[in-house]
Structure 1
Amino acid sequence: MEGLSSVNNLYALSALLNPPAEEDEVDCAFVPSTAKLGPGHIGPTKSAGSKMATSAYIRNDSKDIWCEEELAEGVQFDDITDPRPQPEYDIVLKQRVRTEDIFLGMSRKDPSSMCCESMVVKIKLPGTKFIEVVLDVKEKFLDLRTPKYKLGLHLPHPVHSQEGMAKFLSEKEELEVTLPMNRPLDCINLA
């Protein structure tokens, strides 16, 4: 009766753990356990000299924890050390309606915000002249700077930034910025 420490068992264990160096004649019936594939064998083989990206995208600099495309629009304008206060503002959604829209209901327009064509941002700027206002409008961000006030406003809907219009009402000391909205289903909702 042979036990666990028999010479034949040790040779068999040695053959399983260390296959012979010459593998020209391999018996298909007997495959040693080291020849089994593991998770590292999946995919293209990596050579020692080449560095391949292990993630789904290739990073330009491995020290960066995010790229600029991942940041929200207008983040570069946020300055927490700027002591200027934020002015009062109001956002009003606006739509064009005609009498047949209101009384006869001939179009598909309703009072919801999905049927609005433009957005009006009213910004109160007391003690400010029109010449002092610097305004920059992006698709989803409005940046307003004056010597007294600073406003970085994330807009609730995307807008056509190049088609907007701004007017300064001197008697009210208020800036009105009218921006046409840019939504993917405008061709359906505004037909």
Structure 2
Amino acid sequence: MEGLGVSSLQSLQALSALLSQEDDDEEDKKVGPSAQLGPGHIGPAAKAGKEVTTTAYTKRNTKDIWCEEEVAEASHYEDLTDPRPQPDYEIILKQSVGTEDLFLGMSRKDPSSMCCEAMLVRVQLPDTKAADVVLDVKETFLDLRTPKYKLGLHLPHPVHSQKGKAQFYSGKGQLEVTLLMNRPMDSINLQ
């Protein structure tokens, strides 16, 4: 066991002190400062008088477990100060099924969502004109804005954002957005 110096001995004593504790209230009284180690104590010790700064992570003094920069795409669409209500919507998964699939079972398709090729998002927009609808589709997020409604929808499956189509039915006050799903293994699984 060459290379075990004073720091290893102190670490073993600190570990022993941590493991021998029976009551959390007594722990603060018995344990010395060397036993109160955390993730920041891993690695070589910082030299005294030299300030260490990292650009990748800046420590915050709050108890937050995440910050706004870490939140995934499309979170900026969820504006809590916007008073517009969210319209009613439904998501329907679609698949192309032919007679060879239905009667003969020649392909490997089944009724599960893994065999679906498209997603239909049907949104109820009463008292809305087609010209008032602003629609933005990302790979995992659909953003719909009208003067009366707003909808920020995280999609259950990734989609091809440029290969979809939208149709507005003014008589029903309904928008139907058909999006093709983007799954990397579809060319292998659905043949």
1:107 equivalent in structure 2: 107
Instruction: Provide the alpha-carbon RMSD of the alignment.
Output: 2.6
- Verify: 1:36 aligned to 2:37, yes or no: no
- Verify: 1:180 aligned to 2:180, yes or no: yes
1:58 equivalent in structure 2: 56
Counterparts of 2:72 and 2:43, CA distance in 1? 35
Instruction: Return 98-107 or 80-89, whichever deviates more.
Output: 80-89
1:186 deviates by: 2.0
- Change in Cα spacing, 1:44 to 1:120, as seen in structure 2 (3 Å) is same
1:47 deviates by: 3.3
1:51 deviates by: 1.1
Letter in 1 for 2:56: I
Letter in 1 for 2:59: S
CA contact (8 A) 1:114 1:189 kept: no
- In the comparison of the two structures, how many residue pairs are matched? 153
What do residues 26-57 of structure 1 show as CA deviations (whole Å, max 9, x unaligned)?
Answer: xxxxxxxxx6224599744533425165xxx9
- Verify: 1:156 aligned to 2:156, yes or no: yes
Counterparts of 2:164 and 2:180, CA distance in 1? 6
Counterparts of 2:59 and 2:44, CA distance in 1? 22
Correspondence 1:90-129 to 2 at 5 A: 90-129=90-129
1:13 equivalent in structure 2: none
**Gaps (5+ residues) in structure 2?**
12-33, 35-40
**Gaps (5+ residues) in structure 1?**
1-34
- State TM-score, norm by structure 1: 0.69
1:6 equivalent in structure 2: none
1:128 deviates by: 0.7
- Change in Cα spacing, 1:43 to 1:71, as seen in structure 2 (3 Å) is closer
What do residues 77-117 of structure 1 show as CA deviations (whole Å, max 9, x unaligned)?
Answer: 11223222211111111111221111111100111111001
- State TM-score, norm by structure 2: 0.69
Larger radius of gyration between Structure 1 and Structure 2: 1
SS in 1 for 2:162: helix
What percent of counterpart residues are identical?
63
What do residues 154-188 of structure 1 show as CA deviations (whole Å, max 9, x unaligned)?
Answer: 21112121221111122222111111112343233
Counterparts of 1:132 and 1:143, CA distance in 2? 14
CA contact (8 A) 1:46 1:52 kept: no
- Change in Cα spacing, 1:116 to 1:50, as seen in structure 2 (3 Å) is same
1:9 equivalent in structure 2: none
- Change in Cα spacing, 1:150 to 1:44, as seen in structure 2 (3 Å) is same
